[in-house]
Amino acid sequence: MSHKQTLLDRIANREAAIGIIGMGYVGLPLAVEFAKAGFRVIGLDVIQEKVDILNSGESYIADIPTSQLKPLVEAGTLSATTDYADLSTIDAISICVPTPLRKTKDPDMSYVISAVEQIAEIAHAGMLVVLESTTYPGTTEELIAPRLAEKGFTVGEDIFVAFSPERIDPGNKVYMVRNTPKVVGGITDHCSEVTAELYHTAVDTVVPVSSPTTAEMVKLLENTFRAVNIGLVNELALMCDKLGVDAWEVIEAAATKPFGFMPFYPGPGLGGHCIPIDPHYLSWKLKTLNYTARFIELASEVNTSMPIYVADKVADGLNDDAKSVRGSRILVLGVAYKPNVDDVRESPALDVIGLLRNKGADVVYHDPHVSQIRLEEGEMLQTCDYSAELLQDADCVVIITNHRDYDWQHVVDNSKLIVDTRHVTQEFSGDARIVTI
């Protein structure tokens, strides 16, 4: 019997064991879904503390409640380790490690390369290796497959390699692993077949594409689409400011068109691991082919300038009150990159805080989901206790993240000056002077 058929049989009979490398916001939900589908799953992470927490049955990811995780751990279906040797008998491995950008905006592939090199040492015939980490087009074929081939494996015959981009949206209560369609692209048809069969067990809809490079490009299109359109409406906000027009009124009126228009909304900048980062993978790759991704570069320029625009709005608002930024007490409401999560990766709030502190402001923040943040210079800043007094003591309140926890009428009633980057206070009246972007 061929290695492909043996693996397909083991998947169908739930005899296959699955390894997930990286137990973060992508890897842990995937591990849980495979475990719920009846597989034995081993999660690997380099951080011992996370492994210990998982093996105790506790969850540190908001999207995975402990009540869902603990029964899987207690049943022995899901466990965690820091040792790649524990994956030596695994049938399929999904790589869910970070792929950050360096300061030069080129991809840092060190986590992926380290994982693949470790996998190559324990790989065996009949194993499936799937990369889920977002990366530049060509990564799977250029970095993953060759390292396994060097060990004497023939990709598509005795080992199988594919790319299947993660589509996790932290905090989304509607679309999660199970009901979010999964794109898969294998190096060969056999690779695609076994990958699709595996993911069919944990995901309702699998979308096969012709190659890993196509699948990699799919992911980048999804996030570039958002980055470019957000860049467009952010520039619209800048233009409307110059023209004395309400950008939000413009967008809301345009959104009444039932065809040919999809509303996006301006904000203080982009945050999260995906949208501010992923388009640069594509831009970097195209530069190696002597091509400039002009939309990506322009959108990035606009989006990364938005925190400066917000800081300038704060300065202008204080100036209208005959106050300078230096010495003013500024309260930032919300530092997570999006509502109702605790994730501050690439959050524009960090840039806004840094800019205002550099101008001499006394900046404090409140976020019901984020107890502390690390500033660029390494200093830790703790969240304040929310109260009417906290609002009243601030010379300016800057709304960065529109968490559902906030009572916006209470904010308006107790603030002097509000810079509202999320258009959440417009329907409320009070004594506060409100500046929007």
Residue 65's domain is classified under what CATH number?
3.40.50.720
Same domain, 50 and 195: yes
Same domain, 285 and 429: yes
Angle at 310 between CA 306 and CA 316, to 5 degrees: 140
Above 90 in pLDDT, residue 272? no
Q: Which residues are catalytic?
A: 274
Above 80 in pLDDT, residue 103? no
Cα–Cα dist 245/237, whole Å: 9
Residue type, 169: D
Same domain, 320 and 185: no
Q: Is residue 197 part of a domain?
A: yes
pLDDT digits (tens, 9 = 90+) for 27-86: 999 999 999 999 999 999 999 999 999 999 999 998 999 999 999 999 999 999 999 999
Instruction: Please identify, among 151, 174, 209, the residue that sits at the C-terminal boundary of a domain.
Output: 209
Q: Which domain holds residue 374?
A: 278-436
Same domain, 195 and 300: no
φ, ψ of residue 36 in degrees (nearest 5)? -65, -25
pLDDT digits (tens, 9 = 90+) for 135-147: 999 999 999 999 9
Q: Is residue 261 part of a domain?
A: no
Above 80 in pLDDT, residue 120? yes
Q: Is residue 183 part of a domain?
A: yes
Instruction: Please identify, among 187, 209, 231, the residue that sits at the C-terminal boundary of a domain.
Output: 209
Same domain, 193 and 301: no
Query: What pTM did the predictor assign?
Result: 0.92
Same domain, 20 and 145: yes
Confidence of residue 289 (pLDDT cuts 50, 70, 90): very high
Above 90 in pLDDT, residue 431? no
Above 90 in pLDDT, residue 275? no
Q: Is residue 267 part of a domain?
A: no
Same domain, 294 and 195: no
Confidence of residue 430 (pLDDT cuts 50, 70, 90): confident
Cα–Cα dist 20/97, whole Å: 9
> Where is pLDDT greater, at 106 or 350?
350
Q: Is residue 297 part of a domain?
A: yes
Q: Is residue 234 part of a domain?
A: no
Q: Is residue 263 part of a domain?
A: no
* Residue 169: how many other CB atoms lie within 10 Å: 17
Domain total of the chain: 2
Same domain, 185 and 308: no
Same domain, 314 and 205: no
- The pLDDT of residue 400 is 98
Instruction: Please identify, among 209, 227, 256, the residue that sits at the C-terminal boundary of a domain.
Output: 209
Same domain, 195 and 296: no
Above 90 in pLDDT, residue 276? no
Q: Is residue 133 part of a domain?
A: yes
- The pLDDT of residue 325 is 97
Same domain, 28 and 140: yes
Confidence of residue 274 (pLDDT cuts 50, 70, 90): confident
Mean pLDDT of 242-262: 97
- The pLDDT of residue 106 is 85
CB 342 within 8 A of CB 336: yes
Above 80 in pLDDT, residue 264? yes
Cα–Cα dist 285/137, whole Å: 7
Same domain, 205 and 310: no
pLDDT digits (tens, 9 = 90+) for 369-396: 999 999 887 899 999 999 999 999 999 9
Residue-averaged pLDDT of the chain: 96
From residue 322, alpha-carbon distances to 308, 316, 325, 328, 354 in Å are: 21, 10, 10, 11, 23
Above 80 in pLDDT, residue 281? yes
